[in-house]
Amino acid sequence: MSAPTTERRATPLAEATTPTLRAAVKRWRFWLILAAVAIVGLLIVALASGAGGGSRAPYSITNAAPEGSKALAEVLRQQGVDVVQADTLDEARAAMDAAPGATLAFADPDGLLNDSRLAEAAQLSDRVVLFLPGFNELRAFAPGVASAGAPRDIDGVDAGCSLPAAVRAGTIIGGGRSYRATAGSDAELCFRTSDDAYDVVRTETSNGTVTVLGTADVLSNEGITGAGNAALALNLLGETDTLVWYVPTASDVEADGPADIASLTPDWVTPVLALSVFTFIAAAIWRGRRLGALVVENLPVTVRSRETMEGRARLYARAGAHTHALDSLRIGTITRLSRVLGLPRNATVDEVIASVAAVLPARPLGDIQSILVAAAPANEADLVAYSDRLLELEGAVTRAVRP
C-alpha cells in the first residue's frame, strides 16, 4: 500500500512591469510642453530686452532694423569719416572737444532734453545737422526755421536750390516733416513740397551753420537707397573728417524726484514677470479649452453713442458745469491743433500755444491763451461763444499751415 502523496499547487507569481519611457512622457506631457513654452518665451523676452546687442531706437547708428541708421554710419566710415556715437550730453561734449570743427548730428525724437540742455547742445559745434526737429529743438538750434505742417510722404522731389549736397542728390523720396524759414531770416531752402514748405533748410545762426533735415527715409536703413537719399545724407554728414552722432538717451534726463520702482529693481525682474504672465496666459488657455465654447447672448439693451453724448450734455446743463463742458471742447481742439502743427504726442499745452502763436503772428498771444486755457464761461451763451471761437481758431491754424 503506497503512502498518500501530497500535491503542491504552484501559486502564480505577479508579473513585474517596468514603466517605459513612452508611458512616462505621456504622463508628464502637459508639464513638458509647458516647460518648453516657458523656455521659448524666456528666449523671446531676452531677445526683446536687448540681449542680442545693438539699439532698437530710431536714428541709432547701432540699430540694424529698418528704422535704424547703421547702414549710413558704416558707409560714412568706409569713406574715411570718423563717426563717433554719443549717448549723453557729456559724451557729445567730450567728443567735440577731442575733434574741434567736427559736424554734430542731433536728434531728440523722444523729447528727453529740457530747454537748458538743448541750449547747451546747440553750442557744441558750429556745424549742426538736425534730424526732424520739433518746436523746442528749432527754438534752441535754429530760431529762424519753423515747422510747416504735419508729417507726410513725398515721391521724387527735386532739389531746387544751390546747396551742394542737395544738387548732388537731385531728387529724394520718403516721409517726414516739412519746414519753412521765418520772416527776415536768410536760409537756403531745398526740396520744396508745398508753397512755403521744404524738406531741407540750411540757415546761419550766431553759433554757425544749422541744416534742418525733414525726411526720415534719408537716414533709415530701409529708405536710404531710394532716389538720391543716400547722396544727400552722405554729403550733408560727411563734410568734415569727424561726425559726432548724438541721440539723447534716458541718461540725459535730469532726475527731479525720488527714485522710481524700475530703477530700484534688478534687470532680471522684468523678463521674469513677463515670463510669469506668459505662463499664466498659456495655462488659462489650456484650462479654458476644457470648459467648452463660450455662449454668446444678446444684451437686452443697446445704448447708442448719440444717446450717451446727449445724456452727458443734459447732465452738464442741469448742473451748470459750463467750464467743464468747455474744457472737454478745449481738449479736442488742442489735440487736433497739435496734430496739424506736427508736434509730438507728449507736447504740452504751452508748446501748442507757442506754435499757434508762431503760425498766426497777427493774433495776440494772450487771446490764444485765453480761449485755449484761461477763459471761463459764466452762462450757456458764453459757452456757445467760446465754442465758436475754438472752431474759428482751429480753422485759422489749418488754413495757415495747409493753405
What is the predicted pLDDT for the residue at 385? 86
Supply the pLDDT for residue 240.
93
pLDDT in tens, 222-238: 988 888 899 999 999 99
Instruction: Note the pLDDT of residue 87.
Output: 92
Q: What is the mean pLDDT of residues 161-167?
A: 93
Q: How far apart are CA 255 and CA 114, in angstroms?
A: 12
Do the strands 242-246 and 145-147 form a parallel or antiparallel pair, or are they unpaired?
Answer: unpaired
pLDDT in tens, 21-60: 666 667 777 777 877 887 887 777 666 655 445 567 788 8
Helix, strand, coil content of the chain in percent (nearest 5): 45, 15, 40
Confidence of residue 12 (pLDDT cuts 50, 70, 90): very low
Rounded to 10°, the helix 349-359/380-401 angle is 60
Check pLDDT > 50 for residue 133. Answer: yes
pLDDT, tens digit, 9 for 90 and up, residues 239-269: 999 999 999 988 888 755 565 676 667 777 8
Among 47-56, 188-197, 340-349, the least confident range: 47-56
Residue 389 has pLDDT above 60, yes or no: yes
Percent of the chain with pLDDT over 90: 32
**pLDDT for residue 313 is more than 80:** no
Does the reported pTM lie above 0.75? no
Q: How far is CA 228 from CA 187, 212, 234, 236, in A?
A: 22, 17, 10, 12
Instruction: Check pLDDT > 70 for residue 183.
Output: yes
Is the distance from CB of 237 to CB of 105 less than 8 angstroms?
yes
What confidence score (pLDDT) does residue 15 get? 44
Mean pLDDT of 196-204: 91
- The whole-number pLDDT of residue 176 equals 83
215 DSSP assignment: B
Q: How far is CA 335 from CA 30, 110, 338, 400, in A?
A: 50, 18, 5, 17
**Interatomic CA distance for residues 153 and 133, integer angstroms:** 17
Cα radius of gyration rounded to whole Å, the chain: 32
Mean of pLDDT over the chain: 82
Confidence of residue 20 (pLDDT cuts 50, 70, 90): low
State how far the alpha carbon of 134 is from the alpha carbons of 146, 188, 211, 213, in Å.
9, 19, 14, 11
Contacts of 243 (CB under 8 A, 6+ apart): 76, 81, 82, 83, 84, 102, 103, 105, 237
104, β-bridge pairs: 128, 244
pLDDT for 79 equals: 93
For residues 367 and 37, what is the distance between their CA atoms, to the nearest angstrom? 60
The yes-or-no verdict on residue 175 having pLDDT over 50 is yes
Beta carbons of 171 and 158 less than 8 angstroms apart? yes
More confident residue, 16 or 317: 317
